[in-house]
Amino acid sequence: MQRPHSKQLKYNMSKRTIKTSSEPLSQPSSELHRLQKSMMAWLINKDTEAVKPDIVDTGEVSKVSIEQRLAVYGNAYGYRLIDALSENYPAVHTLLGDDDFYKMTYAYMDAYPSQHFSLRYFGHQLESFLKTYHSDMPILTEMAKFEWALRKGFDAADSKTLTLEALQDIAIEQWAELTFTFHSSVSRLDLAWNTPQLWTAIDEESEPMPPEKLDHPYAWLLWRKELLTYYRSLDVDEAWALDTALQGGNFSELCEGVCEWIDAEHAPSRIAGFLSQWLQDDLLVALA
């Protein structure tokens, strides 16, 4: 069985101060919403007529037409989307190189225009997009899946996790029906390439390694602990137990199922060992 790997993912965290004002907005919120919609219509569909009445014509003074000014804004918007996609998918960017990544991003923008006020969600369709856009490079699809799982784990809501002491409060007669609730950052992936190792090499700017298709997919666990995101590979029985527990399986069902790999006598201690590790990793938030 493959030995577990563990890796910390660090994102830059910065505190931002937002200045507020007690003065009312100069325009009603409904008017602001209309302006935003007309501007978005131009950004997505280049519907100049929809937004043109709202743009002050300074052509006689600045010699720059409305169309030229809109183009400047549109280009800046496109560059910002490129930056957002690169921030969420740095390894995909590295594997493609600058020129191909920029070309791919514009194609992605056409296929999946940003529909949310936050750029955080702009890249959520990249995995499915790359399946067809770069069908010749399947490593890109899997890398996009891996990087999006890391981002989702980092952004997941905070929850207080349990400690090992939580197991001491469980009565013996309750163990069989015991179920588990996991932290919202927890995700499971089956990866057919050396994607995590390749991501690590890119992240650490170490010696380049080629993408490598594995003999069979390996199970991986990704989660956040405090402000760091981790990932590690799983043995086949732990992967099955984790998947079953995530779907609501109880302790008795886990013990029964893991007997596919070990004898029944050692099944409870094997599952207890998984629980101990999950608690140490801050994966569990509730027992029931």
pLDDT in tens, 77-119: 777 888 889 999 999 999 999 999 999 999 998 898 876 666 6
pLDDT at 174: 95
pLDDT at 23 over 60: no
Q: Is the pLDDT of residue 39 over 80?
A: no
Burial of 177 (0-12, 13-18, 19+ CB in 10 A): exposed
- Measure CA 234 to chain center: 20
Residue 53: per-residue pLDDT: 73
Q: Answer yes or no: is pLDDT of 47 > 70.
A: no
Confidence at 122, pLDDT banded by 50, 70, 90: confident
Does residue 152 carry a pLDDT above 90?
Answer: yes
- pLDDT of 3 higher than 70: no
Which of 139, 166, 145 has the alpha carbon at shortest distance from 278? 166
pLDDT at 43 over 90: no
pLDDT band at 7; cut points 50, 70, 90: very low
Contact 166, 287 (CB under 8 A): yes
* pLDDT more than 70, % of the chain: 77
187-193/180-182 β-pairing: unpaired
Q: CA dihedral in degrees (8, 144, 94, 85; nearest 10)?
A: -100
Q: Where are the domains of the chain?
A: 32-127, 137-288
Average pLDDT of the chain to the nearest whole number: 84
Across the range 53-68, mean pLDDT stands at 68
- The reported pLDDT for the residue numbered 72 is 67
Helix/strand/coil for 46: coil
Does 18 have pLDDT greater than 60?
A: no
33 — pLDDT class (breaks 50, 70, 90): confident
Average pLDDT over residues 172-188: 96
Whole-number pLDDT of residue 73: 62
Contact 253, 244 (CB under 8 A): yes
Which is more confident, 114 or 21?
114
Give SS3 for 250.
coil
CATH 3.90.930.50 applies to domain 137-288? yes
Residue 1, pLDDT > 60, answer: no
C-alpha span between 63 and 151 (Å, rounded): 44
pLDDT digits (tens, 9 = 90+) for 184-236: 999 999 999 999 999 999 999 998 899 999 999 999 999 999 999 999 999 99
